[in-house]
Structure formats: structure tokens, C-alpha cells
Chain A
Amino acid sequence: MQRFLAKRAVSSGVSLILLVIAVFFLSRLTGDPTDLYLPIDASQEARENFRALHGLDQPLIVQFFSYLGDLVRLDFGESIRRARPALEVVTEAFAWTLQLAVITMAIVSGAAITLGSLAAFNLGGIFDRIATFFSLIGASAPDFWVAIVAIVVFSVGFGWLPTSGTGTVWHWILPIAVLFIRPFGLILQVVRGSMITALGSAYVKTARAKGVGPRATIFVHALRNAMLPVLTVIGDQAAALLNGAVVVETIFGFPGIGKLMIDSILQRDFSVVLASIMVTAFAIFLMNILIDLAYAALDPRIRY
């Protein structure tokens, strides 16, 4: 177990370092923040001062190593745009995204697992067809389009829900509903496929021969066996949400990490970009560990 964790930490660490190097150099190639933050007619001296203040006057390689040096001391640098520590800005945004992701995934997983299992049990029946049809549409819908259509209908048309921002419970409904759709469709299909296999298996036959009722057959005997591939997609979908649902956050003006990342790239606020990547990468690393632990908890044949 400890060896497994150590191995995972090392391989994730290597990925993260590569990621940081790549993003550090790539992002500098997008241009000089000075042009963006100072007026066009700013004096040469003002430019020099700005560069010196943010360490942009050094050669790129020196900037990189001084950045690494700061990192070791857990100093993620300063946001040029906000004049606040980058880490603070990022954790604030990440807290929003995390809440959104957790709530959405909880609802999605519960709904998709229940309905997918019932669809598999009802294979070929009317419920199965309806569930399959809607899950296919869900998996096919572009979220940005669903988002703007939802705004037109529910906010502009009926005036039931706010169009953007945060503050009340009502603000959460549209983003969650929009984010719900695609993962729901994808997960439901995986649940259904995996449950069809599980329900056709020999141990389900044994359960029936024992006199186990349909509900326990589905949710006790088959479901636990069918969960491994389901966990994998849930993990993938959750990772996508943690990386920031950029489009949805942008449309609904939701102050999450996805929106922050895009804005920071466009604003050449490099330390924020890098800090965001590291924070989300760390969160995803933790989540993957959780998923691996869940595998082992569900299936006793898996041991690390």
C-alpha cells in the first residue's frame, strides 16, 4: 500500500514537473505582459521598472530557476493583475469549482447508476429505450449551446433563474444542470453496458437459484461487480470538472478555476496560470488515489 502510494506520487510528480516546465516556457511565448499592463505610450523607464518589479528583465532560464526556487519555499509568486499572492487567488477560485464539481458529480453518479442499472435490468424494454435515448442525447449535447439555450429559456424567457454570477442557491441551478447533462449521458451508458454483463453472469444465476429478489439481485449482487468501469468514467468526468468547466464557468460568470485559467492566460498573468495548474493537478492526483482505493474496497481481488 505504501509502496503503491509512493509509486503513484513519483509518477504524478514527474508528470507535474514536465507540465510546469512546458507551461512555463509555452506561456512566456504568448507575449510580454508589459505590453498589456502599461499604456502604449508608457516611457521606456516605466517599462524597465515594470519588468524589474516582476522579474521579467532576467533571461528566461534565470526566471525559471528563480521560480523553481520560490516554489520549493511554497511561494507561487504574485498575480500581476490582482497584486495578490497567486496561490490565494487560485485557492479561492478552486474552492468554487470544487463545490460545483462535488455537487454535480454526486447528483450525476447517483442518477446515472440507478437509472443505468434499471435500464440494464429492463433490457430492451420501454424504460431501457427511453433511458438510452436520453443518455445518448445527453452525451451528444455541446455544453456551451445547452447553456445559452437554458439562459434564453429559463432566465430571459421565464425569468425564473439568474443569468450569471453567484450569491444565492438559484445561481447554482443552471450551471449544475448544464454540467449534469454530458457526464450523465456518458456514465449512464457505461453503467448500463457493465450491468448487462454483470446481470448475465454466473453469480447472478446463483443468486436467483438462492431465491434473491430482483432489487437485491441488481443492487447487491450485480452492481458492485459492475462498478469498476463505472468508477473509471466517473473519475475521468470528475477530473474534467476539476480542471475547470471553462465554457460553462465563462458563460455563467462563475468565479471558478476554469475561468480564472483562461483569463490569466489572456492577461499573461503567468504565476496564476502555473499555480492553477499545480493546484488542480494536485487535486486530481488525490482524486485518483481515492478512486484506486475505491477499486480495492469494491473488489477484494484488487490489492496494492
Chain B
Amino acid sequence: MSDTHTTVAAARKDPGEPGPLRTFLKLLRADKPATCAAIFLGLVILCALFGPMLLEAVSSKQNLRGRNAVPFLFGQDWTMWLGGDQLGRPLLARIIVAASNTMAIATGAVAASLLIGSSLGLVAGYSRGRLGQMIPRLADVIMSFPSLLLAVIVLYMLEPSVGNIVLVLAITRIPVYLRTTRAEVLEIRERMFVQAAIVMGASTPRIIFRHILPVILPTLVTIATLDFAFVMLAESSLSFLGIGIQPPEVTWGLMVAQGRPYLTSAWWLSFWPGLAIILTTLSLNLLSNWMRIALDPTQRWRLETGGKKNG
């Protein structure tokens, strides 16, 4: 059957293939939940980029009369619509500002672990020598550390700054990329088109960067998106336990922790930042699910037929 499709495709004149960006947007539109997720994440990124610049002052201004102010009083300034915290600071503004640290830490950790992990994975997968044997062991050692415990010790010892938190989270996530990359390389290395390149005389870097990497990149991007959510949750847990970011810096996880003593009297202190975490991780999960299909040529038809079977 597949052969009919391809001949049909080949026979049809393609009047200039649509650009990659347009194809991308078309595929995204086919999946409604993923579209919403992308829009929401765009919003979060905007908050993270510009929030501190615009709202830093407002968000840290204490206001005794607004202590634990009730949400949904729309008569007030818009920053107070979600209520005020224990010091009367506007919650909405604080959430927007906190997006910056939250996203910065997760981005840093994901980028670092992706870069280091996949590079090691490429080497481990492609080299048939001792190195190929040794590197996976490194992943085993890291995996055998209870990651949260590692984080606690390191952060207790060093100071819990943004840089150190990124470092700890990145180390614990390296094995994910290392293992995936290595497994994929081991498989792709044996594929015919790689053999064809060897027959042509292609050098090792050429084979890795021209032939292997482009094929595994979609998988890596998909995993990184999912992992971004994981890292965010881990960072929130650290902050919640009091060994993450320290005040006056703020992240969503820390806000949940700070609201905990007031749970019974002012639930919104913990509720809103928690909701922000859920919605962001949910969006990342949805987007990653969409990518898994959109970036796989054999699955893409699910989106092209109208997105009836996405997910």
C-alpha cells in the first residue's frame, strides 16, 4: 500500500514545497490541545523574559492592608486579581516575576544535560573501543545516586544559588540523554544509508553530524521537552523543601512553600503558583506528545488527516 502513496506523491507536481515553518504551523494547528499548549508556553516565556523588568517593583512592594487579600476582587489593580500574599504583595505579579527564575533554571539544566549527555552518547554509540564501554557506566553511576539526596547534599554544602541548582539538576539528567542517544546511534549506525556513506569514503565526523545526528535530533528534542517539565517539578520540590532558591529570589515552588503555613486561612497563596506549575508542565507534555508524531515521518499522517487521532 505504501508504494501507491509514494507514487501518487511523486506523480503529483509540487509547486514549490511549503516552507518548513508553514508546514510546522499547519501540523501544529491540526492538534488543538498542542496549539493551546504552545500559546500558553509562549505566554510563560514572555512573562519570564519581560516580567522582572516590568513588575519587579510592584511584586516586591509590601502592603499591610493587602495581607492575604482574597482573590477575584476585580475592582482592584489587576495585579491583585489573584489575591495578595502574607506580606500583601500582589500574587499575580509575583507569579509573573517568578516565571523568570523557574524557566531560567529549567532551561539551563535541560540545555546543559542535553548538550553533555547527547555528546557523550554519540561518542559512546559510535566508538567501538573502550570509550564506548566506559561511558555508559558513567550513566549507571549517576543513575544509582538518589538524585534528590545528591541535590540536598550539594546544595546544603554549596550555597543554593541559581548556578548550583542548574548544575545539580543537569548532572542528574545527563543519563537520560546519554542512554537515548547511545541506543539510537547503535541502531542507526547499522542502517544502510550510513553504510552507503562509508562506502563513499565519508569521514567519521561527517557520518556523525551529517547522517546520524539529523536522524536522532527529533527524538532528542521530544525528550528535552518532556524533561523540561521534569526538571521544573524537581526544582519546585527543592524549593519547597527549602534547599532550592532562597528569598528574596522567588520561584513557583518556593511560593507554594511560603503559602503552606496559611493553607487553612488563605488557600490561594499556594494554589495559584501550583496551578502555574501544573499548566506549564501539562503544556510541555502536550507539546512533546505532538512532537513525537509531527517529527516522525511515519506517524505524521495522523495529524495530516485532520488530527482525529492525535495524542
Contacts and interface: CB of A to CB of B under 8 A. Distances in A.
A229 to B, nearest CB: 12
Interface in A270-296: 277, 280-281, 284
With a 10 A CB-CB cut-off, give which of A23, A136, A145, A261 has the most chain B CB atoms.
A145
Contact of B240 (A124, A137, A247, A281): A247
B236 A142 contact: yes
Contact of A142 (B140, B154, B277): B277
B260 A148 contact: yes
Contacts of B146: 243-244, 261, 277, 280
A140 B149 contact: no
Interface in B265-309: 267, 270-271, 274, 277-278, 281-282, 284-286, 289, 308-309
B237 A142 contact: yes
A149 B270 CA distance: 9
B141 to A, nearest CB: 5
B285 A136 contact: yes
Nearest to B264: A156
- Say what secondary structure dominates the interface of chain A: helix
A208 interface: no
A137 B278 contact: yes
B215 interface: no
A19 interface: yes
Nearest to A156: B264
Contacts of B78: none
Contact of A18 (B141, B240, B256, B281): B141
A262 B241 CA distance: 9
Interface string A138-154: 01111111001101100
Contacts of A11: 137, 140
Nearest to A141: B278
B128 to A, nearest CB: 20
A15 interface: yes
Given A142-B253, A145-B256, A284-B144, A261 B278 contact: no
B57 interface: no
Interface stretch (A25-33, A51-59, A60-68, A107-115): A25-33
A144 B257 CA distance: 9
- Say what secondary structure dominates the interface of chain B: helix
A16 interface: yes
Given A142-B237, A277-B149, A152 B274 contact: no
A144 B140 contact: no
B152 A145 contact: no
Interface in B225-265: 229, 233, 236-237, 240-241, 253, 256-257, 260, 263-264
Contact of A145 (B274, B286, B289): B274
Contacts of B278: 137, 140-142, 145
Interface string B146-171: 10110011101100000000000000
A132 interface: yes
A111 B311 CA distance: 20
Interface string A29-44: 1100000000000000
Contacts of B284: 140
15 contacts: A18-B141, A26-B157, A124-B308, A124-B311, A139-B229, A140-B281, A140-B282, A141-B278, A143-B237, A145-B270, A148-B256, A243-B146, A246-B148, A250-B241, A261-B149
Interface of A: 11-12, 14-16, 18-19, 22-23, 26-27, 29-30, 123-124, 128-129, 132, 136-137, 139-145, 148-149, 151-152, 156, 243-244, 246-247, 250, 258, 261-262, 265-266, 277, 280-281, 284
A-B complex: 8 closest residue pairs judged by Cβ atoms = A145-B274, A140-B281, A124-B309, A140-B282, A243-B146, A15-B144, A144-B240, A132-B311
